A and B are shown apart, each in its own frame.
Chain A
Amino acid sequence: MSKLQIESVSRVFAGVRGGPPTQALEKTDLIVEDNDFITILGPSGCGKSTLLRIVAALDQPSTGRVLLDGQPVLRPGPDRGMVFQSYTLFPWLTVRENICFGLREKGMPEAGQTGIAASYIEKVGLRGFENHYPKMLSGGMQQRTALARALANDPKILLLDEPFGALDNQTRALMQELLLGIWEADRKTVLFVTHDIDESIFMANRVAVMSARPGRIKCDARIELPHPRHYTMKTSPEFSRYKAQLTEEIRAEAVKAVQQMQG
């Protein structure tokens, strides 16, 4: 059975102040298999974040449904861990307390929390920063904490909404390797939204390309690059071929998106 099924999910937003309603997402289907790392690639405003938010149940679909392990998804829950583009660490909690947040909500005893937190602090390379508050951390370190916080709950699927979008290029590349390393070791099921073509190829075993608004998945490309992947792969001929193919796909949509905004 598939891990996650997105069945003819669409989303229409009500018009603002009597204006016409906006179709953000056309009827979309996507099947995510266990241990898939799928990136959803699309131009800005194509509804890719809306799709992810519907999977998280932070937003409700206008039609269709989402099934996780065959069970319909109705409300947000710790089985779908999420990392947001904006910084969402709780500023009054330390790195360790942030990572323990979900475990505490579950009612896990403190000793158990500390053990799990320590292992994820290690995995995301934040040893020595356990007792720092978020405002003392760089953007990259904050997102590493957010990643550890989502992983500590051991979610069935990890949802990432352009998690590295606000980071500088070098930090972003390191974060990609970090996340990929964790995935290669633990084989989590991941749904990763991005507008960065390199990122979408480097991370994924499947890239779902979305069209301009109203969004739909126009192409589902399998990425047959071997694991473990090394950053030097980004300059290999195979990588370039994928990149050329996806660039064509996405460029047409980006052009449409710009025309929509002007028109």
Chain B
Amino acid sequence: MFEPLKPVPRGTRVLLGTIFFVLFFAAWALVTFGGIIDPLFLKDPWYTLSIGWSLFTEFNFIEDVGITVFRVFGGFILAAVVAVPLGVAMGAFKSIEAFFEPFISFARYLPASAFIPLLILWAGVGEAQKLSVIFIGSVFQVVLMVAMIVGGTRRELVEAAYTLGADASGIVKRVMLPGAAPQIAETLRLVLGWSWTYVIVAELVGASSGIGYMIMDSQRLLDTGMMIFGIFTIGVIGLASDFMFKWVNQKLYP
């Protein structure tokens, strides 16, 4: 049963994954219905689900979800549009890498959330500020990872292409890019996950809509059910976008 790297049949996989969810909710139900934890600190699953339902039916929560999804994808796509070409250029040409790499390695450690006060000053509390937080949070990471992937192109493939008559632009466009594409797509999937963290942080401060704002708002009502439902919503959307990304990657790069 515990043999390293031994594959598990698909059915067993799904079953094991499901069992954990069931145990998780069972434990939650046990501590809340059983009165072990005060409802003030943790509402029971049933309450959480029903308050979630009324969030959608009475408080127009779907709009908050929509605006948050828009911010995540908007900021993320902007970051990708800048980061992927720059990363490819850095990976392919060592002089470009030498120029940008030290600064970007430094910028990568600047926490996106620390920029929020500054961004509010510069861009107000509108969408531009929210998108900027996500952009700053993901762009440097994507640049560095793409540069590393492209720089790791197998030398023999490049040499083979040279002996077949490819020039520098042919090598980049028709050897490095297609070779790196599947891994770049995987990187984007990973960073999209991080974007979800930044968006909520951005929405906790100076926002009037979005899932993060709703969570913040429920704190004033001391409604832990609403908070938990908000957090779960993020998890579900994140998982869904992850599956979508994986599916697209598998279709594109079998």
Contacts and interface: CB of A to CB of B under 8 A. Distances in A.
Interface residues of A, number: 26
B164 A105 contact: yes
A82 B179 CA distance: 20
Contact of B160 (A82, A104, A106): A82
Contact of B164 (A86, A91, A149, A159): A149
Contacts of A58: 159, 162-163
B178 A84 contact: no
A150 to B, nearest CB: 7
A31 B49 CA distance: 84
Interface in A105-122: 105-106
Nearest to B164: A102
Interface string B154-196: 1011011111111100100011001101000000000000000
Contact of A76 (B156, B159, B174, B175): B159
B170 A105 contact: yes
A75, A82, A86, A92 — most chain B CB neighbours (10 Å): A92
Interface in A67-91: 75-78, 80-82, 84, 86, 88, 90-91
B156, B160, B162, B167 — most chain A CB neighbours (10 Å): B160
B254 to A, nearest CB: 9
B163 A56 contact: yes
B45 to A, nearest CB: 47
B127 to A, nearest CB: 38
A80 B163 contact: yes
A153 B164 contact: yes
Contacts of A106: 165
Contacts of B164: 78, 81, 101-102, 105, 149-150, 153
Contacts of A101: 161, 164, 166, 174
Nearest to B181: A92
Nearest to A149: B164
Given A86-B156, A88-B157, A91-B179, A76 B170 contact: no
A75 B156 CA distance: 16
B214 to A, nearest CB: 44
A186 B79 CA distance: 54
A75 B165 CA distance: 10
Contacts of A56: 159, 163
Contact of A90 (B165, B178, B181): B178
A78 B170 contact: no
A91 B174 CA distance: 12
Contacts of A77: 162-163, 165
Given A88-B156, A88-B157, A105-B170, A76 B179 contact: no
Given A77-B165, A81-B164, 4 more contacts: A76-B159, A84-B160, A90-B175, A92-B253
Among all A-B residue pairs, the 8 with the closest Cβ atoms = A78-B165, A102-B164, A76-B162, A88-B160, A82-B163, A105-B165, A92-B178, A88-B156
10 contacts: A58-B163, A84-B159, A86-B156, A88-B160, A90-B157, A93-B178, A101-B166, A105-B166, A105-B170, A150-B163
Interface of A: 56, 58, 75-78, 80-82, 84, 86, 88, 90-93, 101-102, 104-106, 146, 149-150, 153, 159
Interface of B: 154, 156-157, 159-167, 170, 174-175, 178-179, 181, 253
